[in-house]
Amino acid sequence: MLKIAITGPESTGKSTLSAQLAKHYNTVWVPEFARTYIASLNREYTIDDIEAIARGQLQQEQQLQASAGTILISDTDLLVLKIWSEHAFGRTPAFVLDRLQQQDYNLYLLMGVDLPWEPDPQREHPHLRQFFYDWYKRELQTMGVPFAEISGQQQERFRNALQHINALLRQAKL
């Protein structure tokens, strides 16, 4: 099974692309656990919540992996939590850092910031999208993982993602 992580700053179309790709490849996609977790809090989130979100995300991915065919699409990954935690709290829980090193995605799709910002109560930094994009790119390069930058408007993003995933499928002969 090929595992694809959609990553990058907020409001860059990660969920939209995840759903489109899952439909195209007739598979499941793993939604961002943080969204439902944060929505259920009746307080501000803390660094302890970052670890709880990571655990929930990993559990959700493991559960959905059994339903996937040859591809599993994940709307987020632990890199998102690392960058979020470092920016919000100046540090990242050890659990997140440890599990981030163990991630086994075959491809990361780094979403560009060229889509218009869409307000959402959980989104915090409309003015820092390029800053975060650059941070994600540096982290992916440091991790030494395969990634592709995805930009353009909705259909162009979808076509770009398909090109990279199809190339990976041909290479893996799936």
CATH number of 2-172: 3.40.50.300
State what percent of residues in the chain have pLDDT above 90.
Answer: 80
**DSSP H stretches of helix in 4-128:** 14-24, 33-40, 47-65, 78-89, 94-102
Helix (H) / strand (E) containing 167: helix 154-172
Full-model pTM: 0.93
**Using one digit for the tens of pLDDT, what is the confidence trace for 24-63?**
999 999 999 998 998 899 888 999 999 999 999 999 999 9
Q: Which residues contact 62 (CB under 8 A, 6 or more apart)?
A: none
Arithmetic mean of pLDDT over the chain: 92
Asked whether the predicted pLDDT for residue 124 surpasses 70, the reply is no
> Where in the chain are the domains?
2-172
What pLDDT, on a 0 to 100 scale, did the predictor assign at position 121?
60
